[in-house]
Structure 1
Amino acid sequence: MVTLLNETQLEQLKEISRQLRQIRQEKSIKIEEIAAQILIRPALLLALEEERFEELPELVFVQGFIRRYGDALGLDGNALTHTLITKVFRQDSNHDSKKSDKKTVIHIPIFGIYIILLVAASIGLFYTVNPQFIGESLAQKQKSPTRFSSSPDVPTSLTLR
């Protein structure tokens, strides 16, 4: 629903709504005909014409409604929305920039997190693919306290078959 409009914005939207309704009535076109042509529900177009803005969706959608409605009536829909945009969005952007100045930006070093996840995944994959490596290294540590063993049960070289 259209909310947070200041007085200037509201007056501009009312003026556009009145203009659209007046031209539609002058051309004796039913609201249902326009709605079918531009694929917008008649209830929304009536709410726009009757200035019941609380029943309308967000302003960006209303802007699209106005453009399509104006084009269907033979007006320049882009010009209609341009007048609304310049008055509405200039004031909104000034308001939003004041809000954004108060927000603090939190910088998370996502690259570091990716590196840690990549290393952890690589280690997990290595141990998943080579489960005998864990068993052999544990068996070696339990059999001899020294690092290099000369016992006959440990193969000194691997042969490929």
Structure 2
Amino acid sequence: MMKNKKKPIRNFEQERAEKLSELGSHLRQVRENQDLSLEDVAARTMIRSGMLHAIEEGKLQHLPEPVYIQGFIRRFADALGLNGAALASDFPTETNMRLFKYSSWIHLSPPQLRPIHLYLVYIFLIMCSVNGMSYMINRSVVQVSGLDNKQELKNQPPQGNQAPTGQLAKVENASLLKNVANSNQAVRVGLTLKAESWIQIVADGKIEFEGVLSEGTQRSWEAKQQLVVIAGNAGGVLVAVNDGQAKQMGEPGKVEEVTVKANPQS
């Protein structure tokens, strides 16, 4: 009688940590070969140097959810002149783990497949194809809409306390800073969540909040000198500076960072 051999169960969390350590070591080596400091890369990517250090050291526990880590890796690699998309795709997320489990099942099961199984697989593949086409169409609509909004904002300068949108990597709007200084008020940023997103708030160099905010949440923070807002799903976050008009931080699913500074009165 043949005995069934038990297949070892993959520890995806351990695999994720090992892959992060491998990618981080490679990125650190490339960065050092280019004689760049973490601060140099942080200025290019608008990712805090602490997060870049955690990626290089493979410290998974100091980083947000896997999908956001993947975005950080892509921006890190792009800043070094590497193929960021290819490197980021090597980092395991929930999506590619599910694909791996499915492909592993297909690979191990052919001797036991029956017609009903083949039929179910065929239906599953059709559903995946339809969902994929729907996603690509929706993504194209979102990108076109985003380009139209960026062009409109480019032709019309910001008014009052409105912060510029699109790629809100850093707020350096002169009229905004002037109004903050003249009113002698602390910098105040309000967030409204249209969709769930991981958020980090740094006020005057101190982390005031870091976590996931659900859809419909409204929160605000103040700082005397500078406020930094990092959103994992920029398309689901509306940001308003000093009670000005709220603007979308960026595209859905993209990691963006916005910095608001107050000029000291002379």
**TM-score between both structures, scaled by the size of structure 2:** 0.32
- Matched residue type, 1:41: R
- State the distance in 2 between where 1:56 and 1:82 align: 17
Structure 2 residues not aligned, in runs of 5+: 1-10, 103-266
Relative to structure 2, which stretch is displaced further, 11-20 or 67-76?
A: 11-20
Counterpart among 19, 42, 62 of residue 26 in structure 2:
19
CA drift at 1:6: 2.5
Quote the offset at 1:23 in angstroms: 0.5
CA positional deviation for 1:7: 2.4
Q: Deviations over 1:2-23 (max 9, x none)?
A: xx94322222121111100110
| 2:61 counterpart of 1:54 | yes
Structure-2 change in CA distance of 1:54 and 1:92 (3 Å): farther
Aligned to 2:97: 91
Higher helix share: 1
Structure 2 distance, partners of 1:8, 1:88, is 12
Q: Which has the higher strand share?
A: 2
Give the Cα separation in 2 of the matches to 1:88 and 1:42.
Answer: 26
Cα distance between partner residues in 1 of 2:57 and 2:89: 21
SS across alignment from 1:84: coil
Q: Which has the larger radius of gyration?
A: 1
The within-5 A match list for 1:10-159 is 10-85=17-92, 89-92=95-98, 94=101
**Cα contact 2:45–2:75 (8 A) shared by 1:** yes
Q: Which runs of 5+ in 1 are unaligned?
A: 96-161
Partner in structure 2 of residue 103 of structure 1 = none
Q: Structure 1 vs Structure 2: percent identity of aligned residues?
A: 37
Q: Say what the alpha-carbon RMSD is for the aligned residues.
A: 2.2
Q: What's the CA shift for 1:91?
A: 2.2
Report the AA paired with residue 72 of structure 1: A
